[in-house]
A and B are shown apart, each in its own frame.
Chain A
């Protein structure tokens, strides 16, 4: 440890970050909070500086332009003394020699390395899925391809009714393409939302003319003699003519490079409470990492935006020597469907028959509002809001700060909604009006 400190003082640390998504931005900001001198090198496979990846659906829908995608300003990298190597892929990591090699033939030495390579689209082994006319929707390049394509095609089939699939469908629909969604599960949004929230969202999509088919998926993608897609044969026997198939089943950790380097990988790259991998001074964050989940205490891959930033930030500050553990991830999603906002946080689908959970749900179909609260051990552990989302953050507080609820407070939370006066006095004071020495930042 003393060696590390000495080095930091004598000559600046070199931090190398593989990946240029939001985890990478988080890491830069985490590092710079504790180390203004060290050199940061970011190696990104894509050609663009970090952009708001979820914004590609806004781009495809024509709501924003390419110039609105950048996550930080033009001066950001220079101001933070970051050397940006774009369009560059890391080909190998040598954890012993502490260096990475790139496809440009460079070898870059590091004192600390962050692997933030994100996820890659999962392509299921459906007959006919390999070849032309099959698209993913996770990068700016994908969005640009689909924008060009949308002017030429009439129909598209989207496989997958999760967030990416629904947003791809909505955006293509906005470009005048007739879209059909296929979702194998009995409902859309099965991962982060529940049946009723999924149904409200599905109705919005159906009302604008998007076909939503649940409990069914592609059995085979059929092609003509030239190899172009002509349609999709479904598991229920139907045949849907289409010119294009968008596969949006989900993403899997892009962890091959870590595996090749002998770093421990389960579903994702395993990391400890500092976000360090099994290799010393090598960290991982974001969609590629299998990091601790706050509520379960287990290590999970939860590929969501805020977790990626937070893990990047926590790895950054730990790489820079601050000994502040990662507080754990909290699954959360906020997404709107044609003006219907939905938010889902924490545990929203407790295991069936598990009586340690208590669920309170109120659905108003006419108003298109839904509120579901999930409790365990007298604490709020999850919620879903559709339509009326204005108190979302205040609900999040009860989960994030793991506030114990008495019967009275719980009753108020259910019937009157979350309120800051239900907080424990100590938390309230430290948050809002702390004594100078105790200020929670």
Chain B
């Protein structure tokens, strides 16, 4: 499957991927409304997070592992591996907010939703025709979606 690979040598820490992610997962699909309104009212958050260590930065999110630790830990079946697409899928309705996935994922790719007992996790922009918004938005091609 095609995964999103971040290259820390090219990342300039601009956070545009986070904003693109925010917009792609918003109701309005509008950057300004997503940031100024939905972030506060809905707890809308980015699945992608830019990590900074001194001069180096890198934008990380769910790796969609072949054998995901989050799926093993999930007590409700909300997180599952889709054997056809390879995606690690999240069913928000099934999630009870036990945080087992957050504990088990060694890649720190799962966050708590700011307002509800739910999680925030990359879905590879499953419903977006052009693929992941973060990859499309990255100004320096530090994010690549490829088969490796």
Chain A interface (Cβ within 8 Å of chain B)?
Answer: 26, 29, 32-33, 52-55, 58, 63-64, 68, 70-72, 305-306, 309-310, 313, 332, 334-336, 341, 343, 345, 389-394, 396-397, 400-401, 418-422, 431-436, 439, 441
Contacts and interface: CB of A to CB of B under 8 A. Distances in A.
B44 interface: no
Given A336-B99, A393-B110, A433 B8 contact: yes
Interface in B60-93: 60, 63, 65-67, 69, 71-73, 75-77, 80-81, 83, 93
B77 A336 contact: no
B99 A389 contact: yes
B108 A343 contact: no
Contacts of A393: 102-110
Interface residues on B, range: 35 or more
B123 interface: no
Nearest to B91: A73
B96 A389 contact: no
Contacts, number: 121
A217 B75 CA distance: 30
Interface string B52-65: 01101010100101
Contacts of B97: 336
B80 A72 contact: yes
Closest 7 pairs (CB-CB, A-B): A421-B53, A441-B66, A397-B106, A309-B72, A394-B108, A71-B77, A306-B73
Given A313-B67, A432-B60, A441-B67, A391 B94 contact: no
20 contacts: A26-B72, A32-B83, A52-B76, A53-B75, A54-B75, A68-B76, A72-B77, A305-B73, A334-B99, A336-B98, A343-B102, A391-B108, A393-B102, A393-B103, A396-B103, A397-B107, A419-B53, A431-B63, A433-B8, A441-B67
B51 interface: yes
Contacts of A394: 106, 108
Contacts of A391: 108
Interface in B5-32: 5-8
A393 B93 CA distance: 23
Interface residues of B: mostly helix, strand, loop or mixed? loop
A41 B63 CA distance: 32
A434 B96 CA distance: 34
Contacts of B69: 306
Contact of A55 (B63, B75, B93, B108): B75
B97 to A, nearest CB: 8
B119 to A, nearest CB: 11
Contacts of A397: 106-108
A306 B100 contact: yes
A419 B53 CA distance: 8
A26 B72 CA distance: 8
A441 B105 CA distance: 13
A392 B99 contact: yes
A431 B107 contact: yes
